[in-house]
Amino acid sequence: MTTRDADEFTEPLPATRRALLRRVALGQVEGRAPSLVGAVVREGRLVWTGSRGRVDGPEGSAPDADTQYRIGSLTKTFVAVLVLRLRDEGLLDLGDPLAKHLDVPQAEGATVAQLLAHTSGLAAEARGPWWERTPGALRPETADIFGERPLVHPAGRRHHYSNPGFALLGALVERLRGAPWGEVLADEVLEPLGMGRTSLDPRAPHAEGWAVHPWADVLLPEPAEDTGRMGPAGQLWSTAGDLARFAAFLLDGDARVLGAESLAEMRVPAVAPEERDWDGGYGLGTQLVRHGGRFLHGHTGSMPGFLASLWVSAEDRLAGIALANTTAGPAIGAIAADLIGIVAEHEPRIPEPWRPLTEADPALLALTGPWYWGPRAYHLRLRADRGLELSPATQGGRASRFRAEPDGTWTGLDGYYAGETLRVVEGEGGAPAHLDLGTFVFTREPYAPDGVVPGGVDPEGWRAL
C-alpha cells in the first residue's frame, strides 16, 4: 500500500474524530432528536460514523451505520438517476414534453428537465389530506395526486419545489421500463452499488419515527405510510452505510449505473436561485449549496418522524451524511455539511502525485504552448486522454478544459466555452495555423500581419507611439 493509500483510507485522526462526534452530539442535543447518526466518506470510502441517542427508547440500542432511517426527498436524487439512465439510453430527451411519454393533462407543457429541476410550475404538494401522513391508496392513479389547481406558475419561469413533479417522473420510469419504479431502482441502481439496506419499506434494524413536543421533552409516534404514487418524492429508507456508497457514486459515477459526465450534468444549476436564497440552487434532482466557502451537491429529506441529509464536496472528495428520527429540530443539512468542513479543515486533502503521460503524440504536443486571442495571451496544455486545458497567461480571460472527440475536435467541459467546439485549422505542411473555438480565433502570435484574424490586421503591424 502506498503512503497515499494509507492516508486516504484510514479513519480520521483522533482530534478529527472527536470534533466529528462533538458535532453529532451537539446536533442531537440542540435538535432534541431521539437519535442522530453521522458519517463521513473520503475518497469514495466510509471512514467514520458516529451516533448519539437511542432508537428504541432510553433502554434501547444506539444506532449505527446499518440502522435504517427514512430519507425523504433524498429519494428524488435516486429517481433522477433513473431518468438520466433513460436519457443516456436514448429512450427520452430531457427537452421532451412529458406529454410525449405520459398522458397527464395537468402537466401540459412541462418538459422532463423542468420536472427534474422543479421548474415545471406544478404545485408543491399533492391533493390533500397531508400526503406524507396518509396512505397512498387515497391517490391510486397518477391523476389523483393533483388538486384543483395543479399549475401555479408558467412552466420554465421559476424554481418552485414540486413533490407531484417527481411522482410524475416515477410514473415516467414505470412507463418506459414497464415495471414499478421501486423494482427498477433496485435492479438498476441499488443492487449494482451494493445498497442492500435501501428499500421502499422499513427493514430491521430501523429507527422509529417520532415527533418531539415543542415545549416539553415528550414524544409522539409518527405514522410511516406507504405513499403509493407519491413514493418517488420521498418513500425510501436507507442507512448511513448505504448512503456512503451512494455518495461515492455521486462523486465518481459507476459504468454499471451512470457515468461521471451525466452525474456532473445533474449538479449544474438549472435555474437562478430565488432572491433570498443566493447560497443555494437546484440542478437535475440535486440540491446545490454553498456552506463554509464550499460548493456542495446532494439533497436533504424529511418525512414524518425523520430528517436526512447527504452532501458531497467534489473539490475535497468528501461527503457528509446525517440521519435523525424526528420530524423537526436538528439542522440536518448544516450538520452533514459541517462534517465535511471538519475533516477538510483538520486533514486537508493531499493532492495526487504528478505523473507524466504514458505516451506522447507529436501532433498534440505541437498544439501546446502560447496562443493569442488578439493581444490576450493564453496557455494551452495537454491533459490525460488527449484532453486540453486553455488558461489565460495573466489575470482575466476565460479558462476551460476540453474533452477529445473521435472526429479530432474537442468539446468544452466548463466555463464560458462549455459545450463549444475547439478545432485546429492546419496551414501549409499540415502544421497548426490557428485554433477556432466557437468562432474565436487563437493565433500563435498576437495580431501577426499574416495571421488569420477576423477583420484583418493593420499591414504596418505593431508600432511605437
Whole-Å CA distances, 365 to 122, 387, 417, 451: 52, 12, 22, 21
- Give the tens place of pLDDT for each residue, 128-177: 889 999 999 999 988 889 887 898 888 888 899 999 999 999 999 999 99
Cell 396518509 belongs to 134
User: Does the pLDDT value for residue 4 go beyond 60?
Assistant: no
What percent of the chain stands above pLDDT 70?
Answer: 96
**Chain segment 104-137, per-residue pLDDT in tens:** 988 888 999 999 999 999 999 998 889 999 999 9
Residue recorded with cell 417527481: 166
Contact 186, 82 (CB under 8 A): no
pLDDT at 7: 55
SS3 content of the chain, % helix, strand, coil (to 5): 30, 25, 45
Answer whether 370's CB lies under 8 Å from 444's CB.
Answer: yes
| For the chain, percent of residues with pLDDT exceeding 90 | 75
Instruction: Give the amino acid at 379.
Output: H
Q: How far apart are CA 10 and CA 62, in angstroms?
A: 24
The grid cell for 44 is 469514495
Cα–Cα distance for residue pair 297/281, rounded to 1 Å: 9
pLDDT in tens, 9-66: 678 999 999 999 999 999 999 999 999 999 999 999 999 999 999 997 667 789 999 9
Q: How far apart are CA 76 and CA 62, in angstroms?
A: 28
Q: Is 3 a residue whose pLDDT tops 60? A: no
Using an 8 Å Cβ cutoff, are 308 and 71 in contact? yes
Evaluate if residue 5 carries a pLDDT over 70. Answer: no
Sign of CA dihedral 101, 106, 110, 115: negative
Strand 318-324 and strand 35-42: the pairing is antiparallel
Complete DSSP assignment for 380-396: EEE-GGG-EEEEESSSS
Q: Which tens digits make up the pLDDT trace of 422-437?
A: 999 988 878 888 999 9
Instruction: Give the whole-angstrom CA distance, residue 53 versus residue 431.
Output: 69
Torsion of CA 353, 354, 355, 357, to 10 degrees: 140
At residue 55, φ and ψ (nearest 5 deg) are -100, -10
Q: Look at the block and give the residue holding cell 504528478.
A: 354
Distance CA 48, CA 10 (A): 9
Contacts of residue 283, defined as CB under 8 A and 6 or more positions apart, other chains included, come to 117, 265, 266, 267, 268, 269, 270, 297
In this prediction, residue 1 carries a pLDDT of 36
